[in-house]
């Protein structure tokens, strides 16, 4: 199942990050990311975004903060706005939040497969109940924005931020690992 739009939030009651996903022709699904899994995911995504030019990383962080509709939600769409190569479109209105309908299925994510290609990073969310995997494809700049949303969730949760440190002693030759599975 491929995500068309998604809203990221921290849920205080669940003490988890929720990712409410919209699909073409399917009901919305809520994916739950535990602190343990999120802490394992973050270093891999930090490594991928570290390869972006510094001014693009700063711009994407500014855009996420400027577009926040509330203190907990960040919405993302796979429909890329028209823009010049490498340019962040600051005047674009925020996407409306993806809202789960009553009775929408929810799943606790137990594994995430990360596939990095020159144009996209694909995050494939899996659970241990045998449900269909959920695929979120993000351009590298969208990934930086999404990761900033995850960071905001960590801050709201009061979770340890040590996993956000730049990776020391890793191969930073510019070619990040092409495929990683996080469990």
Query: Each residue of 33-47: pLDDT tens digit?
Result: 999 999 999 999 999
Query: Each residue of 63-93: pLDDT tens digit?
Result: 333 333 333 445 444 443 333 333 333 334 5
- Whether the per-residue pLDDT at 119 is higher than 70: the answer is yes
> Between 137 and 52, whose confidence is greater?
137
pLDDT for the residue numbered 15:
95
Least confident of 21-30, 36-45, 116-125: 21-30
Q: Which residues in the chain belong to E strands, given as ranges?
A: 3-11, 16-23, 26-33, 74-77, 106-108, 111-116, 120-126, 134-139, 179-182
* Global pTM exceeds 0.95: no
């Amino acid at each position: 199942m491929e995500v068309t739009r998604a809203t990221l939030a921290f849920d205080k009651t669940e003490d988890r990050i929720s990712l409410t996903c919209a699909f073409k022709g399917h009901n919305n699904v809520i994916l739950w990311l535990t602190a343990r899994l999120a802490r394992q995911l973050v270093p891999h995504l930090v490594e991928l975004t570290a390869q972006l030019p510094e001014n693009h990383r700063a711009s994407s962080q500014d855009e996420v903060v400027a577009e926040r509709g509330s203190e907990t939600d960040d919405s993302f769409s796979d429909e890329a706005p028209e823009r010049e190569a490498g340019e962040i479109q600051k005047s674009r209105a925020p996407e409306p939040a993806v809202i789960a309908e009553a009775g929408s299925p929810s799943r606790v994510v137990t594994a995430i497969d990360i596939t990095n290609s020159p144009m996209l990073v694909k995050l494939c969310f899996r659970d241990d109940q045998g449900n269909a995997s959920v695929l979120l494809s993000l351009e590298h700049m969208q990934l930086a924005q999404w990761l900033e949303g995850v960071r905001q969730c960590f801050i709201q949760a009061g979770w340890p931020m040590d996993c956000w440190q730049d990776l020391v002693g890793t191969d930073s030759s510019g070619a990040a690992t092409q495929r990683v599975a996080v469990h």
